Chains A and B, each alone.
Chain A
């Protein structure tokens, strides 16, 4: 299975952009990269996913390196509600078989 490496924690100030990095050097050529986040005492929430090119949606942007060995989740203007653990997940052979690591705990300061 592909492994991911994320910083344990990051801090941001409210209304500033946040760049959350992820290394996934062992990802296969056909694996999509998924990002989910988990707010305290809640279930994970889908954020975004992509394969090769950069992706945008209403929540975030995903910048994928040309060699696909890393990606960066971009929150354009962090809010207090964005404080959560962010998981970068390459699926293990199937889009539903996601293995969540420890993720990055994002703290947003007012």
Chain B
């Protein structure tokens, strides 16, 4: 059973370009979460999606960032007009069901490392 797959693993963009990061959840998982890890900081929650729905985007920056999880295909985190401060590792996680109460495990991918020149 393949784990959470993220690509690209490394992405370099110049200021003002767009970055698209893709995440394929584990087989059978329909809940996807995106996290960001800035240099020298811990991971922080960005957005939670289920197929075709954004459930919680309370951690997403208000501008330039968007996420989707279409009916077919991977989840996409899109960053428009990137700036140097967007340089970070972006991690995707998935779960087979909505996490609540005693259900506690997120399965993370290996991350996509974005460098903005």
Binding site for B on A (CB under 8 A): 32, 34, 41-46, 49, 51, 87, 92, 94-103
Q: Which applies to chain A's interface (DSSP): helix, strand, loop or mixed?
A: loop
Report A57 CB to chain B, min CB distance, Å: 10
Chain B minimum-CB-distance residue to A85: B42
B contact residues around A100 at 8 Å (CB): 37, 42-44
Stretch with Cβ within 8 A of A (4 or more), from B63-71, B79-87, B106-114: B106-114
Pair B56/A97 contact, Cβ less than 8 Å: yes
Within 21-60 of B, Cβ neighbours of A (below 8 Å) are at 31, 33, 35, 37, 41-45, 48, 56, 58-59
Pair A97/B45 contact, Cβ less than 8 Å: yes
Using C-beta atoms within 8 Å of the partner chain, give the interface range for chain B.
20 to 34
Pair A43/B42 contact, Cβ less than 8 Å: no
Pair A32/B104 contact, Cβ less than 8 Å: yes
B contact residues around A92 at 8 Å (CB): 45
A contact residues around B33 at 8 Å (CB): 96
Pair A103/B104 contact, Cβ less than 8 Å: no
Pair A44/B91 contact, Cβ less than 8 Å: yes
Report B95 CB to chain A, min CB distance, Å: 7
Q: Which applies to chain B's interface (DSSP): helix, strand, loop or mixed?
A: loop
Given contacts A41-B110, A95-B99, A96-B33, 7 further A-B contacts (CB under 8 A): A43-B4, A43-B93, A43-B109, A43-B111, A96-B56, A99-B43, A100-B43
Binding site for A on B (CB under 8 A): 4, 31, 33, 35, 37, 41-45, 48, 56, 58-59, 91, 93, 95, 98-111
Pair A102/B42 contact, Cβ less than 8 Å: yes
B contact residues around A44 at 8 Å (CB): 43, 91, 93, 106, 108
Pair A45/B104 contact, Cβ less than 8 Å: no
Pair B42/A49 contact, Cβ less than 8 Å: no
Our pick among A41, A51, A97, A101 for the contact of B102 (Cβ within 8 Å) is: A51
Report B57 CB to chain A, min CB distance, Å: 11
